[in-house]
Structure 1
């Protein structure tokens, strides 16, 4: 039996509820593999699990995304072997650990051309971008879209992927520094939501037409600007709550603002079937290996510094992707 360093919470709340513990890890059960993590992805959804916005069964681990090496293969697993480099981005929760057992059908074998760190930085965010752009609303060359938080981890990947598809990207940011980062990753137009009227600028950029789709991972604070940026019968895609969840929504707004559509998708739904998850990951790997998608790793924290990593993420002090290193 091996010993792992793990992050656990016994209650939900501020970053201080996260504890660093040493725990024994048994041999993997049937259908599982034991993976020694080399890099762990930090995602905004982790803060929801920690804070209580998304309930979890306590005590609980945290984290949905990591990369590493298979150390033990459980019975019934035939597509993986000891020494394989693997990554995952859809959980199950508990990635904040140096070693863990995980269902073999929820990990993906990594191509030789993708490093462990790149994989840990891209799985959840990149798979999110793939389902948003290719499934929730299939963007087409020549279209113009609005993507909020364009300098964030999901945003920077979305800008690049959309540009590769021939799409014009308008992105919102919170500072000129973040605007420059977004533009460097394919964002055509940036709007500083702290100093500019987002919907007004979108209308100016699109000659008054608005956009067919808005991708919004921010939540309550950007809701009205998102709706006011859409064309009639446009789609508002609310895939996150960085500023807090949207509450007390009046459906009448959708009719008043042009017979709009609204959806609240999750990666877990889009990748619930194993074949859907593998197809998503394969498309992501192909984009990275082609050079069309660069995965920007801008921050690295030791796993023991996870509390500070969460503070910086929630304080909007980070850009691109952040890794925790066991």
Structure 2
């Protein structure tokens, strides 16, 4: 019988349990996928600790890559034997085998392996919608990317650089600064020792950046607003340091008629056509070598508890995989 990580209550990493599960035949519209690799992402922590509530008991995880073993009635998006990858709902990727709506699956190009596929989908599609849909980065734009040495950060940094942007990244340590610089950051700010807002103003000659991509949340939100040029856009897409406090909208006018958005990948890929289009853009920049996907940590799937501990302790960089 296959196994999966499941949660029966919210809490710390210890609530992640390795359990035998019964995987039924795919229902109409579903495909059964045997995972070769599963992605680890910070949103998994939010599901585990209850910040983003899910009905319990539940599986966990939103990203994986593997082979289609069976399809249900009416499925024509994929076929048995296809190499596929996916990101987004429904939750339950921390599993050896699972059923998933077939319209959420993307066929992996021949040149992209399972581990790269699993490492790139959630973070890569996030970078894709952030840079190409939420705020369409153009050559010459100054952009600020927080957590530039993280999974989304490394991909977004490379992609923004390939688009011709001036890329400013923040990190929390000298080692992460070296990593971000090696992946295309024109300027790297260690926010544990420097005032990133003052440095951004200095780098941009006082003007500020066109857009801030902020997955950190509470600790960086106020400074991010102060880093924007007039009519700049604040894109808050994560809460690694905690939820953003309530915002008085009058601040946006006082700071230069700013824009603020809180997007999610799920909304940007809700339609199959939008998912495929973003996937094609992502596969294109990875296939061309403009964006390198690097797996810096791997854990056995059954060791998800330790993986979550390391992720929350900020011991990880780049992409992390769980291997069934």
Number of the residue aligned with 2:17: 19
Alignment of structure 1 residues 217-228 onto 2, 5 Å: 217-228=215-226
Give, in angstroms, the shift of residue 253 of structure 1: 1.7
Number of the residue aligned with 1:161: 159
1: CA distance, partners of 2:249 / 2:37: 42
The yes-or-no answer on 1:209 pairing with 2:224 is no
Aligned match for 2:117, one of 119, 141, 165: 119
Partner secondary structure for residue 24 of structure 1:
coil
Number of the residue aligned with 1:289: 287
The yes-or-no answer on 1:36 pairing with 2:34 is yes
Give, in angstroms, the shift of residue 212 of structure 1: 1.1
2: CA distance, partners of 1:248 / 1:211: 23
1: CA distance, partners of 2:209 / 2:189: 14
2: CA distance, partners of 1:14 / 1:79: 38
Number of the residue aligned with 1:232: 230
1: CA distance, partners of 2:131 / 2:39: 21
1: CA distance, partners of 2:202 / 2:274: 39
Number of the residue aligned with 1:323: 321
Higher mean C-alpha displacement, 130-139 vs 77-86: 77-86
Number of the residue aligned with 1:106: 104
TM-score (norm 1): 0.98
Partner secondary structure for residue 199 of structure 2:
helix
Note if contact 2:233-2:258 (Cα within 8 Å) is conserved in structure 1: yes
2: CA distance, partners of 1:147 / 1:291: 21
Long gaps (5+) in structure 1: none
Number of the residue aligned with 1:90: 88
Number of the residue aligned with 1:258: 256
Give, in angstroms, the shift of residue 252 of structure 1: 2.2
1: CA distance, partners of 2:286 / 2:99: 27
1: CA distance, partners of 2:27 / 2:221: 45
1: CA distance, partners of 2:70 / 2:141: 47
1: CA distance, partners of 2:124 / 2:315: 21
Aligned match for 2:245, one of 241, 244, 247: 247
Long gaps (5+) in structure 2: none
Partner secondary structure for residue 233 of structure 1:
strand
Alignment of structure 1 residues 167-206 onto 2, 5 Å: 167-206=165-204
Give, in angstroms, the shift of residue 36 of structure 1: 0.3
2: CA distance, partners of 1:86 / 1:63: 16
Number of the residue aligned with 2:46: 48
1: CA distance, partners of 2:77 / 2:127: 27
The yes-or-no answer on 1:59 pairing with 2:60 is no
2: CA distance, partners of 1:224 / 1:70: 45
The 1:252–1:79 alpha-carbon spacing in structure 2 relative to 1, beyond 3 Å, is closer
Q: How many residues align?
A: 324
Give, in angstroms, the shift of residue 224 of structure 1: 1.4
Note if contact 2:159-2:291 (Cα within 8 Å) is conserved in structure 1: yes
Provide Cα deviations, 1:39-82, integer angstroms capped at 9, x if missing partner: 00000000000001001011111000000001112111123222
Note if contact 2:85-2:121 (Cα within 8 Å) is conserved in structure 1: yes
Provide Cα deviations, 1:241-260, integer angstroms capped at 9, x if missing partner: 00001122222221221111
2: CA distance, partners of 1:118 / 1:279: 19
Number of the residue aligned with 1:138: 136
RMSD between aligned residues: 0.8
2: CA distance, partners of 1:78 / 1:49: 31
2: CA distance, partners of 1:11 / 1:250: 35
Give, in angstroms, the shift of residue 316 of structure 1: 0.5
